[in-house]
Copies of this chain bind each other. A is one copy, B any other.
Amino acid sequence: MRQVNVALLGAGTVGGGVVNGLRRNGPLMASRLGVDLQVRRVVVRDVRKTRDFEVPERLISTDWKAAVTDPEVQVVVELVGGTTLAREMILGALRAGKRVVTANKALLSAHGEELFEAAVRHGAGLYYEASVAGGIPIIKVLREALVGNRIARMYGILNGTCNYILTRMKAERAEFGAVLADAQRLGYAEADPGLDVDGYDALHKAGILASLAHGFWVDVEDVAVEGIRNVTPLDMEFAGQMGYTIKLLAAIKTVEGGAAKGRSKGSGKTGAHVSISVCPTLVPNSHVMASVAGVFNAVYVRGDIVGDTLYYGRGAGRDATASAVLSDLADAALDLNCGGEERIPPFVPHERHGAVMPSGEMISGHYLRLNVTDRPGVLARIATQLARNKIGISSVIQPEGHEGESVPLILMLHDAPRKSVDRAMTAIRRLPVVKAEPALFRVENFE
């Protein structure tokens, strides 16, 4: 049987999962694929560090350059994370003609275009299933299973930490801060949780999915993102009364003839105009995305031929991510069989006129929670500001039983462009009857 040798760069959580996975299921994979995957090198920062998995000492070193140029190595797996050394390692490995597997979404988000170009230039292959949504094979689905489809809509619950926190906030009527602290204690949230709870991790993943689906490099740097810090148990309760659950939802939509900026370069051609948002979003309880709970992720994809599809699984963690790396290792090994390059280039830029729509142009319904003085006439003042910006109100909740100077007031707003809503919000914030920073979330009806 043909043997394929692997160099692992990084032996942390996911690296350990890959080593354990190959030990447990390597023979099974060999019988399924006809290829024997062997770990030949493990590159670490500190060779003496204690690890919770077994690697023969002779395989361990700190010399990544020797690993990526080792003529006995055919596939390099980058699991060090970060965007500096990891970039250098991947470029070095591609230059040496190695196939590279990576789980690094932050790196792909920041330097994907450069890395994909390098992979094609060196005919080397770059595999990144583990970079988005862990154990969910969404990269393979978009590149292969749905290759005959135009992707009209994509919705993602892409950050397990946020979904875990929101699920517990809803079930326990608990505050964000308390659940975050507990999640950190249990290992479901990082000590520095900003990348997750402020939405950037989900945005990086959404950018990779959007690029892949729409065939142009989607730069998410200018995309407005909002995390889950402003969601309160009260919001969960009000949303629930109206038949909704609050999720951190990434929404990627194609827009017909919308104004767009970015790559269209004033050519006048209308290409794929795409809107992207990542923010707390009210999802109808009857929709299957509302039932995605805890650390699980899900991606909902609407293709113009296949219709609606959903892919669900663990989005992070040692084993789910390792499973995706094993799948990429299998693909890399099978591509080696074929001699040449990857079956399909890692990213195919086929859309010359693609552009991202400015977030102000995006139309959607909104949930607005205000803290207002408890006296007659307040609603009238707020409704006036909304009306001035042509925003209709579909329902109002003024819950009873709240004591004190200020009380919550919840409004559900009809579909309106975000820039109109933002304009109205500027005026509403200035009203003397409005006592605290309002919370404004999107409503998504999956139409």
A337 touches B327 (CB 8 A): no
A135-B309, A215-B32, A291-B288 known; A327 and B25 CB under 8 Å? no
Other-chain residue from B144, B147, B291, B350 in contact with A291 (beta carbon distance below 8 A): B291
Q: Does A238 contact B (CB under 8 A)?
A: no
Task: Closest B residue to A18 by CB, please name it.
Answer: B148
- Tally of chain A residues near chain B (CB < 8 A): 61
Neighbouring B residues of A298 by C-beta, 8 Å: 310
- The answer to whether B343 touches A334, judged by C-beta atoms less than 8 angstroms apart, is yes
Contacts A304-B25, A350-B28 given; does A144 touch B140 at CB 8 Å: yes
Are A337 and B343 in contact (CB-based, < 8 A)? Answer: yes
Asked if B306 and A314 make an inter-chain contact with CB atoms under 8 angstroms apart, the answer reads yes
Tell me which residues across on chain B come within 8 A of A136, comparing CB atoms. 309
* Residues in B whose Cβ lies below 8 Å from that of A259: none
Could you say which of A4-12, A315-323, A363-371, A382-390 contacts chain B? Answer: A315-323
Q: How far is the CB of A211 from chain B (nearest CB, A)?
A: 13
Cβ-defined contact, B148 with A323, below 8 A: yes
In whole angstroms, what is the CA distance A307 to B134 when docked? Answer: 11
Q: What is the minimal beta-carbon distance from A19 to any residue of chain B, in angstroms?
A: 12
A324 contacts which chain B residues (CB < 8 A)? 145, 306
Instruction: Supply 20 A–B pairs (Cβ within 8 Å), ascending by A.
Output: A21-B148, A21-B305, A25-B149, A28-B150, A28-B350, A31-B350, A32-B143, A32-B344, A135-B306, A140-B144, A140-B145, A145-B324, A306-B320, A307-B313, A307-B314, A307-B320, A309-B311, A309-B313, A310-B311, A343-B343
- A residues with a Cβ closer than 8 A to B are 17, 21, 24-25, 28-29, 31-34, 129, 135-137, 140-141, 143-150, 215, 288, 291-292, 296, 298, 303-314, 319-320, 322-324, 326-327, 329-331, 334, 337-340, 343-344, 348, 350
